[in-house]
Amino acid sequence: MAPRFAPATATATSLYLIEQDQLQSWLSDQSAPLQDWVATNGFTGGAGQALLVPASDGETPIALAGYGTVAQRRRKRFTLAGAAEKLPKGCYQLQTGTPNVAQLDAETLSTECLGWLLSQYRFTRYKSATPMAASLIAPAGLNAPAVEALAAAEYLTRDLINTPAADMGPAQLEEAVQALAAEFEASVGVIGGADLLEANLPLIHSVGRASDRAPRLIDMHWGSAGPKLTLVGKGVCFDTGGLNLKPGASMGLMKKDMGGAANVLGLARMIMAAGLPIQLRVLIPAVENSVSGNAFRPGDVLSSRKGLTVEINNTDAEGRLVLADALTLADEGEPDLVISMATLTGAARVAVGPDLAPFYTDYDADAAALTASADPQADPVWRMPFHAPYEGMIEPGIADLDNAPSGGFAGSITAALFLRRFVGESRYMHFDIYGWTPSAAPARPKGGTGQGCRALFSALPVLLGL
């Protein structure tokens, strides 16, 4: 379903957004029955609370949403969405300009309304019936189409990640790119199967050759003028771990191992929907890391597009391999900025948990621009270091690089350093994301999720000098 605000002509229930410390002031201007209803139902204005007030004594029904305190909002994102998820099905209209109702600046209003749309998301592909969500009329002054476009990009990312691997293999991921390209008049080229070897993309072929679903490199182009931005997304549609087989508990979520690809496609959708004046390229190495007689092995030494050799010390460290060839190809196009996104390491989750998107860059100005845009977009990120003294950890004895250094220390950093070897001189930013919400939160149901994309989209005018 497409995320949309309700038509302005829709019949709507008035919704009052109440900060906790303003509740009593607001109530003092209300009728005694309304005051009694609020007290009886325990509504305090706490963050994410919601209350429908029925009609009485000639009054019309209204609804209340708790906006909490500043301290409560620091611990939550999308406070209004928390209330929206508790309201009954229906259409609502925020009341502004009313004494003791929370007054939101334009940026906060946009983020809270985005949260409302994100709270309406339902993954419906395999359900026969889906409960309806509360809808909202876009408040006056809101750039509703822009907010809807951000929500549509997030819906795309979530749908791709949530789809089981049986229905989201390399071919289906290619189909998703083709559909997006058709919507925005972009072009797509695909190199698959044995043709990867002819095209000098040997690492992508090596990782994906064991599957009966052919590996491929998907290459989308959009825009003909302006700065060059290349997005590279890890598209491992399912990861068994290869011959270094994952235990069952670790394999259960591996449908999300193409979360990097899903995120760059969400970001690409934002860019194209906004019509940014750039030349956009999206590269997705789409593979399935499977087990068969021709699977690549621990101890193998593989060649890359860049000419660097890689010793395989763990076949479960396959994502950096497919990204390596794609990053080399990206660098050959001499872009102004390369951004890679990947569900790459468990070490990143240990470091920052599932909610933060760690990123790497050598450019302080780029890091500052991204960090400044993250909080207003309710899209938290955290800078990690390309720590040069660890370079020796990815250099084995018999090849140029090691795909899985022993010891377990600094796993996210060494993976990022590995990727940087394949970028050359291009300006580069790498995201080691989780791509999954492990437990439901306001506007973020359990399941696939976008991370870092809104922050990046907001920062692009600075990053690319637009």
Q: How far apart are CA 210 and CA 193, in angstroms?
A: 11
- Both tokens assigned to 300: 């193998």
Strand partners for 428? 338
Name every residue whose Cβ is closer than 8 Å to that of residue 73 and which is 6 or more positions away in sequence: 47, 67, 79
- Both tokens assigned to 295: 């699977």
CB neighbour class for 139 (10 Å; exposed up to 12, middle 13-18, buried from 19): middle
Name every residue whose Cβ is closer than 8 Å to that of residue 71 and which is 6 or more positions away in sequence: none
Q: Which of 256, 305, 320, 454 is catalytic?
A: 320
- Both tokens assigned to 271: 């860019």
Read off the amino acid at residue 346. G
Nearest CA among 177, 128, 123, 134 for reference residue 448: 123
Report the chain's terminal Cα–Cα distance, integer Å.
Answer: 32
Nearest CA among 355, 407, 413 for reference residue 388: 413
- Both tokens assigned to 140: 């006056």
Answer yes or no: are the C-beta atoms of 359 and 433 closer than 8 Å: no
Q: How far apart are CA 286 and CA 236, in angstroms?
A: 6
Name every residue whose Cβ is closer than 8 Å to that of residue 269 and which is 6 or more positions away in sequence: 149, 152, 153, 156, 180, 184
Q: Are strands 309-311 and 401-402 parallel, antiparallel or unpaired?
A: parallel
For 436, list phi and psi in degrees, rounded to 5: -150, 135
Note if 320 is an active site residue.
yes
Neighbours of 51 (CB within 10 A): 21
Distances from the Cα of 246 to the Cα of 56, 82, 291, angstroms? 61, 36, 11
Q: How far apart are CA 282 and CA 174, in angstroms?
A: 12
Helix (H, G, I), strand (E, B) or coil at 440: coil
Read off the amino acid at residue 206. S
Q: Which of 213, 246, 383, 427 is catalytic?
A: 246
Catalytic residues: 246, 320
